[in-house]
Chain A
Amino acid sequence: MAGLELLSDQGYRLDGRKATELRKVQARMGVFAQADGSAYLEQGNTRALAVVYGPHEMRGSRSRTLHDRAAINCQYSMATFSTAERKRRPHGDRKSTEMSLHLKQTFEAAIMTQLYPRSQIDIYVKILQSDGGNYSVCVNAATLAVIDAGIPMRDYVCACSVGFVDETPLADLCYAEESVSSLSVALLPRGGQIALLQMDARLHQDHLEALMEAAMTACKGVSKVLDEVVRQHLQEAAVLNVCP
């Protein structure tokens, strides 16, 4: 499609990856001191910054207070310079509002909100540079930020997108590949539970299973990387901590 060969005959993709290979993931927790939790994550050329405030007293309209759990409040925005073509508004359009909704939904599933009745948890994610898989990168970055904030979660939430080209599932799509087809999954890897599933593509039903399988494997791959980042962070901090 579109005159681009997304998968060469030798089985290599545009950026030289194999079909199931993930992009390089680099991350850091605790980027900012003022927030309760923060994290920066880059996955290939997509970069996101996530910040968590809370749990804290409800702000703004008290009518949103939930009496049995914490309310999760997400805002997704993109830096105006994050895309090749300059964006005019960082947030507020239909797509970003939807993305905010999806993030909220994902973290409502993963965070143990029932521990914090009547409080609010803010998760703000900013895309600094966009090259496909914005949702996944946001989820991964936000997961790290939530862990950094010490907010209890059932498990990591890892997200990844997969595409389907020439009967082959491709993992972790970049922007050029995303235009063809994409299935995004946010997974709690340990239980194999899907917190969010979204697909934008025409795909025959028979291929669905293979694609979902690929997506879940990719998510588990991401989760390994995140796990490393978290453990590294823990040790760095704890090594210096003189135990009483």
Chain B
Amino acid sequence: MEVCESSKVSLREFGCEQNLLSRPDGSASFVQGDTSVMAGVYGPAEVKVSKEIYDRATLEVLIQPKVGLPTVRERSQEQCIRETCEASLLLSLHPRSSLTLVLQVLHDDGSLLSCFLNAACMALMDAGLPMSCLFCGVTCAINTDGQIITDPTAAQEKESRALMTFAIDCAKRRVLMSSTKGSFSVHELQQCIAVSQKASEKIFQFYRDSVRRRYSKNL
């Protein structure tokens, strides 16, 4: 297996704005290159009796596509994100209540799922919800030459042989969630995980910086 070229292993510029909407309890927009997502969090709030869970909060994740109504693709992404969030949020602190995370696609230029994850994490942080750890999403694509590309654009995604998105927690750099498409070897998978772990450090550093910047005036 070829050693991947370092030039491909880069993250597009990314940015984030927190607390940009007035209605939600927490909100954030996250931009990765041209891909951008807005997230809003409501909760903990009253929950419908039918959805109530007696020992923890009910988390609902909704993805709003840019055009038309949510389809099966959005539903499966919602599932991935919900599981990730459930793993990191301390839901048992808010029994019998509801948390709603709404994600709105603003522009899709590849690595959408990882952008969803990052926006979700920033919004949850903004909402002040207790979490056991932060998480971030990294998308890796393996192109036909076997090269690993992190944070691919839509065009790169199209040309790739395999596409993997991992959610990584900040404490141990463990994989919280993985979603893959296409074919790849075990070795490649491990490589991608390793790359993603590396990339996550940058993102976590960015989280840290942005939160530090945000609270710079308060402290």
The reply to whether A and B meet directly (CB within 8 Å) is no
Seen from chain B, the residues whose Cβ lies within 8 Å of a Cβ on chain A are: none
